[in-house]
Amino acid sequence: MQKDALNKVIKSTKRVIEHHNEVSKLKGENFNVFSILNMESKENGTHSAFLGELLNPEGSHEKGNVFLRLFLEAINNTTIQADTAELVLEKHIDKRDNENKTGGRIDIFISDKSGNYVSIENKIYAIDQNLQLKRYHNYKKGSNKVYYLTLYGEDASKKSKGDLKEGIDYFCISYSNTIIKWLDSCYKEAAEQPILRETIKQYSILIKKLTNTLNTQQEQELADVILNNLSESEYIANNYNKVLNTIRDNFRNAIATSLSTKLDKSRYEVLIGDAIHKNYAQLWIDIKGEKEAQLRFGIETFSGKSISHGDMFIGILDKHGKGSQFPSLSHFERLSEWWPHFKYLENKEEQTFSMSNQSILKAIQHVNSDTFNAFVALISNQIEAFVKENEEHVFKYINQ
């Protein structure tokens, strides 16, 4: 593959992106209240709340069930009767019981007077819970349609769905397609209510930002670039993830090597976790000689995937999860039932560190460069500090 041909495609694509950014700037779309208030990735506090308010026939939009009807059309649901529909956010369906596969909280729950139900599990960055979709499927079984909403329509993990079949027992919908198209319809319906209309527009812009979605004209411009350079575009597409995952894998290996020298070898063993293309792609710091120990230190995720908002963290993993007796100390910050204590890793500007961040990936692309080594030292120092700060509690519990 000729380098000049590849550069031509990249330069043409860059022009499309620059044009998109310039148009956004001229339209004032960079001023987004959701982004300014740092609400972009708060699943329940932002996304479920906003979607729920639009879907609720009793919502403050004063549009009755218009938005709900449009949504039901978008997901091809003909069972819910919009005229009698009610909506509840974070619907409590009994205490969680993994053994009987019941209970939990449903992000968005819609019901009607005829006993029809819709359950929406909203997943942007949060990880799947154990048997989550299975538990929701078992609630009002037979009359409850379960939807799994993600940025791009990804399927649920085996951990969440169990033996359920996508398209039969539950349905995948996406922000990038389902929600954006539905919001466009809502925007048109709100044409004569400027505050509502522009708020919907702001939220739609946020979703397009999170999903890297272009408008119709820009999509066509990009399509033209690709179609006029099919071989080169295919080559770039086929190697894109491989190139980025090589950078991530090199960085994880360097962190592992650094930690192996920093931590006490008589106490700890540093282990590579899942493959770099897997969601979690961890590093484990195990207590030496305690392979079955309930607690271990872990770092997630080197994959750049949307786990814990995509931000990397160091934490204590508790294999017993919810049933654990490991004490919750006053200085502990809980991430989930499996991570009773964690801390986000930070870059030099004290911002969270993510392997999906383009600036970071560019900075660490060359192994053993000054910037690569500086980032390895920065991250491994934070991990070492967390381990030393919390090792007393971990060893005390394991040895009791």
Condensed to tens digits (0 to 9), the pLDDT of residues 46-69 reads 889 999 999 999 999 999 999 999
Q: In terms of residues, how long is the chain?
A: 400
Answer whether residue 127 shows pLDDT above 80: no
| Cβ-based neighbour number of residue 39 at 10 Å | 16
Residue 195 placed within a domain: yes
Q: Please give the mean pLDDT across all residues of the chain.
A: 87
Residue 10 placed within a domain: no
Do residue 161 and residue 304 come from a single domain? no
Q: Judge contact between 72 and 55, C-beta under 8 A.
A: no
CA distance 104 to 141: 15
Residue 3 placed within a domain: no
What is the pLDDT averaged over residues 157-168? 91
Say if strands 170-174 and 144-150 run parallel, antiparallel, or are unpaired.
parallel
Residue 370 placed within a domain: yes
* Predicted pLDDT at 209: 83
Nearest Cα to 55, choosing from 45, 47, 46, 65? 65
Do residue 123 and residue 208 come from a single domain? yes
DSSP 352: B
Q: Judge contact between 136 and 164, C-beta under 8 A.
A: no
Do residue 56 and residue 167 come from a single domain? yes
Confidence bin at 86 (pLDDT 50/70/90): very high
Do residue 277 and residue 350 come from a single domain? yes
Hey, what are 394's tokens? 């971990």
CA distance 354 to 38: 16
What is the pLDDT averaged over residues 246-267? 94
Domain that holds residue 359: 239-398
| Alpha-helix residue ranges (DSSP H) falling in 28-142 | 33-36, 49-55, 66-74, 132-137
In order of 39, 198, 218, the CA distances from 28 in angstroms are 19, 12, 17
Do residue 324 and residue 200 come from a single domain? no
Radius of gyration of the chain (CA): 24
Provide the 3-class DSSP secondary structure of residue 299: strand
Answer whether residue 347 shows pLDDT above 90: no
Residue 112 placed within a domain: yes
Q: Where are any strands of DSSP class E within 112-214?
A: 117-122, 144-150, 170-174
End residue of a domain, out of 218, 252, 275:
218
Residue 232 placed within a domain: no
Percent pLDDT > 70 in the chain is: 88
End residue of a domain, out of 183, 218, 253:
218
State which of 123-127, 204-208, 381-385 shows the largest mean pLDDT: 381-385
Confidence bin at 25 (pLDDT 50/70/90): low
Beta bridge partners of 89: 108
CA distance 178 to 209: 15
* Predicted pLDDT at 33: 61
Do residue 258 and residue 205 come from a single domain? no
Do residue 187 and residue 285 come from a single domain? no
Choose between 128 and 313: higher pLDDT: 313
Confidence bin at 394 (pLDDT 50/70/90): confident
Residue 104 placed within a domain: yes
CA distance 80 to 82: 6
Do residue 275 and residue 167 come from a single domain? no
User: Is the four-CA dihedral 357, 361, 364, 367 of positive or negative sign?
Assistant: positive
Do residue 195 and residue 101 come from a single domain? yes
* Predicted pLDDT at 352: 82
Do residue 39 and residue 159 come from a single domain? yes
The pTM of the full predicted model, rounded to 2 decimals, is 0.66
What is the pLDDT averaged over residues 189-212? 89
Domain count for the chain, please give it: 2
CA distance 233 to 128: 34
What is the pLDDT averaged over residues 184-196? 93
Percent pLDDT > 90 in the chain is: 52
Residue 75 placed within a domain: yes
Do residue 214 and residue 287 come from a single domain? no
In order of 50, 128, 178, 355, the CA distances from 151 in angstroms are 16, 14, 10, 18
Do residue 244 and residue 207 come from a single domain? no
Confidence bin at 225 (pLDDT 50/70/90): confident
